[in-house]
Structure 1
Amino acid sequence: MRLFLLVALTMTAFASNSLLNRVGVANYGMDPFDFAVIRTGAGAAMLWGLVVIRSQAKPNLFAAKRIGGALALGIYMIGFSWAYLTLDAGLGALILFGVLQVVVFGWAVISGQPIPIFRWIGAVIALIGLAVLLWPTGSAAVPVLGALAMVAAGVAWAAYTLLGRAEADPLGATATNFLLCLPLVALTLLVGGDHSISLVGAATAILAGAITSGLGYALWYRVLPELPTTLAGIAQLSVPVIAVAGGVILLGEEMTIRLLLAGALVLGGIAISLITRR
């Protein structure tokens, strides 16, 4: 029960990132790269504040894994923010975690990890749910550039998830990743555009960085060692469902039969996958 609650809290934080990013960039006109820089900086500040006040030794800034984690996190931050110029909160989350599911399962197969049959069945059902929701109908079409940006973010987030599976110091690792990726994300400010910052937009970026990203990712690194690789990927398929529900309730997005069906398939697939874990 404890592990389930920690995973549920983490997935809610991940979904909140989509809602906050969509509000800041689309609703309040924040430049996506400005949003990404503020978000990353706020996350680094929050996490390093916690690292400084604790009694453990400070993490090694330049370990090989830290460089890889920082690069993956930076690519994710940039692609994620840019995608929400054109994607709805729920749609963006679906693309992100659908790509993550494919990459994580592919890595598990390539590395020869045993994958129980119920986990395969659950993953297939969950992915069918994502396909139902993503499949364009009538005049509906997914914005190509936004989708490509989110695909890149999904691949980077999968790499970040896989790198975090063996972390002995989740808080220190996450704090270092945020600090090291900040210069990479800040390079996007050299891209031309309107860099005016609204108060509400900046507030959403700070909240996304310090709380739902910084603390959320530290918690994710904390629970990852207790989850099989494939189950870690499947669990994150709940994030799009949470994001879609949040979009409907908080952002006034339309609730449709297709959305309800897709959500039921995703959650049903996760439930089937958890049978083996139990």
Structure 2
Amino acid sequence: MRILFLTGLAMIAFAANSLLSRLALVDGAISAEAFTLVRIVSGALTLSAILMVLQGAKGFYHQWRIGFYSGMCLFLYALLFSLAYTELTTGFGALILFGSVQFSLLGIHLFQGHRFSSIEWLGILVSFLGFIWLVNPSSSTLALWPMLSMLFSGVSWAGFTLLGKRSGAALPATTKGFIVASVISMALIPWVLDTQSITSQGLTYAVISGAITSGMGYVLWYAVVPKISLLSASLSQLLVPAIAMIMGVLFLRESITTENLLSMSLILGGIALTLYQQHRKSAH
């Protein structure tokens, strides 16, 4: 029961990232660039403090090569994520993000030489059709560029995830990724930053997103992952778009259309079928 509670808490934290971004950006309380900068730096400071407490200075000695590449992926993810949420609704954006992440991971799985069974291909096809239906410009009043921005944000997050798995130590690798992303942010973003577009409300949302729902959320998730199966971990993340959609309705009064619900069911159901079949194959 404790693991179930902690898993749910981590998924709420991930969904809250979408909500906080939308809250900060929908009314122009802060620019997307400033939100990205504050979020990443806040996350880096929080994770660095946690790493220092748990491992001391030695926790910062190694894995900087992976940290460099994961930091670039993290910066791209965070910036594109913020830019997309200037127009996308909370649940819509989360669904594109996590669908893109799962498609990217499955594509890399295939590229590495793994083969899918007919049931896995069926799940991928169903989810892909749902994804096409979701982002089809003719069925949406949103511009194409925010959807593409969130799509590539998901690809970047998938790269960050894979680099983190290669590290063998999630917390140090994640911390170094955030530190590198912070350096990149501080080097690039101030050149295009409009300080007049920053409000205290926007800053508060960005700090909470970086320090709590990102920094603390990742620490919580990496503490839970070793104690649950890979299938449970993968399927748990499919709950995030649904949670984000509910948060958008409760806190921003965003509407949910029947089309959104059906496309979400196709995307998440298809991916769940593929993940379940992969789990059965590995079990045998």
State the TM bucket, normalised to the shorter chain. 0.7 to 0.9
- Show the counterpart of 2:182: 182
Structure 2 runs not aligned, ≥5 long: none
Q: Against the structure 1 CA distance between its residues 189 and 152, is the aligned structure 2 distance closer, same or farther, given a 3 Å change threshold?
A: farther
**C-alpha contact 1:118 1:275 (8 A) present in aligned 2:** no
Shift of 1:115: 4.2
In the alignment, the residues of structure 1 paired with residue 162 and residue 8 of structure 2 have an alpha-carbon distance, to the nearest angstrom, of 19
Shift of 1:2: 7.3
Structure 1 runs not aligned, ≥5 long: none
Structure 1 residue identity aligned to 2:205? T
1:204-245, Cα deviation, whole Å (9 max, x unpaired): 1111101111122334455289765x9876654433222222
**C-alpha contact 1:126 1:265 (8 A) present in aligned 2:** yes
**C-alpha contact 2:63 2:173 (8 A) present in aligned 1:** no
In the alignment, the residues of structure 1 paired with residue 235 and residue 126 of structure 2 have an alpha-carbon distance, to the nearest angstrom, of 11
Query: Which stretch of structure 1 is more off in the superposition, 257-266 or 158-167?
Result: 257-266
Q: What is the TM-score of this pair, normalised by structure 2? A: 0.83
Alignment of 1:1-278 (within 5 A): 7-55=7-55, 57-60=58-61, 63-113=64-114, 115=116, 117-136=118-137, 140-186=140-186, 187-191=188-192, 193=194, 195-221=196-222, 223=225, 236-273=237-274, 275-276=276-277, 277=279
Q: What is the TM-score of this pair, normalised by structure 1? A: 0.85
In the alignment, the residues of structure 1 paired with residue 276 and residue 109 of structure 2 have an alpha-carbon distance, to the nearest angstrom, of 19
Q: Against the structure 1 CA distance between its residues 167 and 118, is the aligned structure 2 distance closer, same or farther, given a 3 Å change threshold?
A: farther
Shift of 1:18: 1.0
In the alignment, the residues of structure 1 paired with residue 42 and residue 33 of structure 2 have an alpha-carbon distance, to the nearest angstrom, of 14
Shift of 1:65: 0.9
**C-alpha contact 1:105 1:233 (8 A) present in aligned 2:** no
Q: Against the structure 1 CA distance between its residues 163 and 67, is the aligned structure 2 distance closer, same or farther, given a 3 Å change threshold?
A: same
Q: Against the structure 1 CA distance between its residues 233 and 275, is the aligned structure 2 distance closer, same or farther, given a 3 Å change threshold?
A: closer
Identical-residue share of aligned pairs (%): 34
Structure 1 residue identity aligned to 2:167? E
**C-alpha contact 2:134 2:260 (8 A) present in aligned 1:** yes
Structure 2 residue identity aligned to 1:25? L
In the alignment, the residues of structure 1 paired with residue 2 and residue 126 of structure 2 have an alpha-carbon distance, to the nearest angstrom, of 26
Query: Which stretch of structure 1 is more off in the superposition, 262-271 or 86-95?
Result: 262-271
Q: Against the structure 1 CA distance between its residues 160 and 224, is the aligned structure 2 distance closer, same or farther, given a 3 Å change threshold?
A: farther
Q: Against the structure 1 CA distance between its residues 18 and 237, is the aligned structure 2 distance closer, same or farther, given a 3 Å change threshold?
A: same
Name the structure with the higher helix share: 2
Matched residue of 1:54: which SS? helix
In the alignment, the residues of structure 2 paired with residue 191 and residue 87 of structure 1 have an alpha-carbon distance, to the nearest angstrom, of 22
1:21-75, Cα deviation, whole Å (9 max, x unpaired): 0111113521111111111111111111111111463133663211111110011
**C-alpha contact 2:74 2:181 (8 A) present in aligned 1:** yes
Shift of 1:185: 1.6
**C-alpha contact 1:164 1:221 (8 A) present in aligned 2:** no
In the alignment, the residues of structure 1 paired with residue 3 and residue 111 of structure 2 have an alpha-carbon distance, to the nearest angstrom, of 27
**Aligned Cα RMSD in Å?**
3.0
In the alignment, the residues of structure 2 paired with residue 231 and residue 159 of structure 1 have an alpha-carbon distance, to the nearest angstrom, of 21
